Amino acid sequence: MPTITITATQLKNALGHYLEEAQKGKDFIVSKDGIEIAHLGPNSANKINLLNSFVGIASGIDENKCKEERLSKK
């Protein structure tokens, strides 16, 4: 699904509509004065994008060891 660019004014005037569309899976880039300032999209997509941004950064880390350390601190 392509990302749709909307203006801050459009978002302000129809916030409910854009929130519903984001909940359905649509992505929006919000621009102000021609400059992209924000991203609006489904919450699950944000989590996936966040995880993808860590690819390559955490190489060599043992997931199970991290989990054990985190649980041992409780």
Residue predicted with more confidence, 73 or 53: 73
For the chain, the average pLDDT equals 84
Burial-class residue 43 by CB neighbours within 10 Å (0-12, 13-18, 19+): exposed
- In the CATH hierarchy, which top-level class contains the domain 4-72? alpha beta
CA 61 distance to own-chain centroid: 24
The mean per-residue pLDDT over the stretch 32-46 comes to: 86
Phi, psi of 31 (to 5 degrees): -120, 150
Q: Is the pTM of this model over 0.85?
A: no
> If you count them, how many residues does the chain have?
74
Instruction: Give the residue extent of every domain in the chain.
Output: 4-72
Q: Which residue in the block uniquely carries the two structure tokens 């919000």?
A: 30
pLDDT band, very low/low/confident/very high, at 64 (cuts 50, 70, 90):
confident
